[in-house]
Amino acid sequence: MVRPVTWLSDGESEPLVHRRSISVDVIDDGPFLELDCRLLDERPWADDAPENQPVVHHMRLRIKVEKASLVITAADAQMLMHPQAECINILGEYQQLVGLSVARGYNKNIQELFGRERGCSHLEFMCKAIGSAVLQGLYSSGRYEDSQLGKEFDLPENADVVLRNTCHVWTDGGPGFAKRALGWKPGIGGWPAPELVEIRRLLGEVTRDGDSENENAPQ
């Protein structure tokens, strides 16, 4: 007999022995995006005794990415709190981020450049977090610009290329591309976007209720 799992995190979880927080802020800088990633490892129970150390890691990684090319143009790695004096000796290696594309092959390049003994495991994790945040930041930046101008939003022109095979929804022949082929745009059907059959119905109704019939409308 399988015993039911009790999730302490659904209530007052005591004792909370460790907390890792990671955040990525994306700032629009004209033709660039600036991404500011912070990682914090804390021991909420710890006092100020040296062996307890309430803050174990406090790290910051910033990059600039050119929107058009998705290439990193500047990088800055910092360790504001670290366990060993020698930890900071690796920081200069992260200038190798400059010139990398955050599109296809990015995670593989990060692993080859900074994996295991070649870097810091925490900064490697932050590099990957930043890479995955660029695409969302790019779309949010475009949506922000359109909203300020009162324009209808759609995914960028290169979205189909960038999204292809990034997850099970956007695999070749998957539901994401099937919805796009029907004419789906972000916002149609609400959030999250409904399943393909509902998108087909919604877009069919939009076509029938329009001012003119479109013989190529999805059936």
In the predicted model, what is the mean pLDDT of residues 71-95? Answer: 97
Provide the pLDDT for residue 208. Answer: 59
Are 197 and 101 within one domain? no
Provide the pLDDT for residue 162. Answer: 78
In the predicted model, what is the mean pLDDT of residues 56-65? Answer: 97
Can you read off the two tokens belonging to residue 48? 């100020």
| Residue 35 pLDDT exceeds 60 | yes
Residue 143 maps to a domain: yes
Beta carbons of 66 and 43 less than 8 angstroms apart: no
**pLDDT band at 207; cut points 50, 70, 90:** low
Q: What are the tens digits of pLDDT across the range 87-125?
A: 999 999 999 999 999 987 899 999 999 999 999 999 999
Best CA proximity match to 102, nearest among 37, 147, 40, 41: 37
**pLDDT band at 206; cut points 50, 70, 90:** low
Number of structural domains, the chain?
Answer: 2
Beta carbons of 130 and 24 less than 8 angstroms apart: yes
Can you read off the two tokens belonging to residue 89? 């000796």
Among the three residues 93, 123, 147, which one is the final residue of a domain in this structure?
A: 147
Are 33 and 106 within one domain? yes
Are 115 and 175 within one domain? no
Are 37 and 126 within one domain? yes
Burial (CB < 10 A; 0-12, 13-18, 19+), residue 164, is middle
182: three-class secondary structure by DSSP: helix
Among the three residues 147, 168, 187, which one is the final residue of a domain in this structure?
A: 147
The pTM of this model reads: 0.82
Q: What are the tens digits of pLDDT across the range 5-14?
A: 888 888 876 7
Are 128 and 102 within one domain? yes
Q: What is the DSSP letter of 3?
A: P
Give me the percent of the chain exceeding a pLDDT of 90. 62
CA 133 to CA 155: how far, in whole Å?
16
Interaxial angle between packed helices 175-182 and 196-209, expressed in degrees from 0 to 180 and rounded to the nearest 10? 0
Among the three residues 95, 116, 147, which one is the final residue of a domain in this structure?
A: 147
Q: Which of 2-16, 32-46, 120-134, 171-185 has the lowest mean pLDDT?
A: 2-16
In the predicted model, what is the mean pLDDT of residues 19-23? Answer: 96
Q: Order the strands of the 55-66 sheet from edge to edge.
A: 19-29, 32-42, 55-66, 72-81
Are 102 and 173 within one domain? no
For 196, the domain range is: 159-209
Could you tell me the CA-to-CA distances from 143 to 5, 50, 90, 110, 181 in Å, in that order? Answer: 41, 48, 37, 29, 21
CA 219 to CA 201: how far, in whole Å?
8
| Residue 156 pLDDT exceeds 80 | no
- Parallel, antiparallel, or unpaired: how do β-strands 32-42 and 55-66 relate? antiparallel
Q: Which of 90-104, 156-170, 200-214 has the lowest mean pLDDT?
A: 200-214
Are 24 and 83 within one domain? yes
Residue 3 maps to a domain: no
Are 98 and 168 within one domain? no
